[in-house]
Chains A and B, each alone.
Chain A
Amino acid sequence: MKCAALAVFSALVILMIRRMNPELSFALSAVTVVVLLLSCGGVMDELLEALRRAQQIFGTSAAELLPMLKCLGIAFISKAGADLCRDASQSALAAAVETAGSLCAAAVAMPMILSLMTTIGGML
């Protein structure tokens, strides 16, 4: 509720100041995005705590689940960055951010893929 209210209020202010000062409106938009993402930190802590408890109950290790969580984090950050760039009418920058995000996610997944290929090679 708080996040929605803050986002709507910021959008209104940005609309009002865009004609007068587009740079300031962009900066306000970026700051609002950062504040909203940081405000989700409390919820993320609870989710991570639940995940840690699930790990303890079922005997999974953090190293096994970390790549997926990293990919998720990369997706959120690259999506937010790309959309901010599109709001500033910079489609090329947005595409570059998305590509960088995909490459980072692939880099995070690569050790797992290599480990699997080693296992398959061992079987053959």
Chain B
Amino acid sequence: MKKLLLVLLLFPLFCIGVHAEASADRTFELFDPAQMQSGLSDEEREIGGAISAGGYDVSAAMKRLWRSFAAKLKAQLHEELGFASKLLVLVFLSAFACSVCPEEKTRGMIEICAVCLAAVLLTGGMSSLVTETSDAVFRLSDYSRAALPAVYTAAAASGGVSSAAVSYAQAALALDVMMSISRKAVIPMIYATLSLTLADVVFPNPMLAAVAKLTKWAAKTALTWTTLAFTALLGMSSLITTRMDAAAVKATRTVMSSALPVVGGMLSEASSAVLAAGSVVAGCMGAFGLIAVCAVCAGPFAVLSVKGLLFKAVAAVAESTQSPQLQRLFQGIDGAVGLLMGLLGANAVMLFLSFAAAMKVVA
């Protein structure tokens, strides 16, 4: 009896606490979210904001992103209006000169002069635009190498071990493939489309026009099919692996609660809290990654949008002044701008899907 009383009195000393309330902070420290900010400029980091154990304020980040994009759009519009008005002066002068010119052959020469001048004015800007867009694509690739491992590690810690591993492997492979296609095929095809369009406008030739159209189609198709294939692959694999992970987590919890008679249930509940903490951190990192990708693409998209809009407007004016060569030139340049937007957009969409897949693993 005395022994029994002694054991009952000493029993509380052997109890251990099952803690889970600080797991979010510990998990946050373990996965080093600072990796998500590596490779970003100061402005992009400011737009992204800070990730903390308490969570990530997505709405504030979206507001900062929108304000930054609107400011860039406005600045670019002010800058490009001067250039667009220069092109309009050229269009009107060419139309006026052609209308008063008495000879057909000289009218043709005047049009060629106008087209060559417009082409020389445009080409310098287009070269720098292609360089700027390809730099943005390379920066997205570098950012994916830094951020995706961090997000998928956190996703694996939330219980989605198989899903995270498979999705990360697919995302990394697809992004490498997209980068190779962009650098070795799409960017040269954009330059080729520009050159063929310019040559066709100055020296009209059905062969040149057909080859320019084919090159443009090839670039568009390469981007579209790569993005579609990646989306399908990621979707199909996550269907299977997500269920496997859910079954594995459930089985582990069942084993834990049944193997240990008294504390098994508490351990099982505590493990849920740990997994939940991991999912919070991974969700925050994934959301930050999405905002960071938008921040990287905001500048080039603002430039491309404004240029595309202005080229369309100038092409419409050239059409109304009966300047078919100038109209074809501006439409061709607008097509090249569209290809650049497609290139940047495809890379950004694939990175979005990669981050979304990591957050889906968490869910």
Contacts and interface: CB of A to CB of B under 8 A. Distances in A.
Q: Name B's interface SS.
A: helix
Contact of B113 (A58, A67, A76, A78): A67
Given A58-B85, A65-B93, A69-B97, A113 B102 contact: no
A124 B195 contact: yes
Contacts of A57: 85
Contacts of B106: 71-72, 74-75, 78, 101-102, 105
Interface string B88-124: 0110011001001111011101101110110111011
A107 to B, nearest CB: 10
Contacts of A122: 127
B198 interface: yes
Interface in B121-139: 121, 123-124, 127
B66 interface: no
A42 interface: no
Contacts of B103: 75, 78-79, 98, 101-102
B198 A102 contact: no
A4 to B, nearest CB: 17
B93 A123 contact: no
B245 to A, nearest CB: 50
A112 B105 contact: no
B93 A112 contact: no
Nearest to B124: A119
A124 B130 CA distance: 13
Interface string A90-110: 000000001001100110110
B352 interface: no
A73 to B, nearest CB: 10
Interface in B55-92: 82, 85-86, 89-90
B97 A72 contact: yes
A69 B107 CA distance: 11
Interface residues of A, number: 35
B80 to A, nearest CB: 13
A54 B89 contact: yes
B85 to A, nearest CB: 5
A119 B119 contact: yes
A120 B198 contact: yes
Given A79-B102, A112-B113, 17 more contacts: A51-B93, A64-B117, A65-B93, A65-B117, A67-B117, A68-B93, A68-B110, A68-B113, A72-B101, A78-B106, A101-B105, A105-B105, A113-B202, A123-B123, A123-B191, A124-B192, A124-B195
Interface of A: 51, 54-55, 57-60, 64-65, 67-69, 71-72, 74-76, 78-79, 98, 101-102, 105-106, 108-109, 112-113, 115-116, 119-120, 122-124
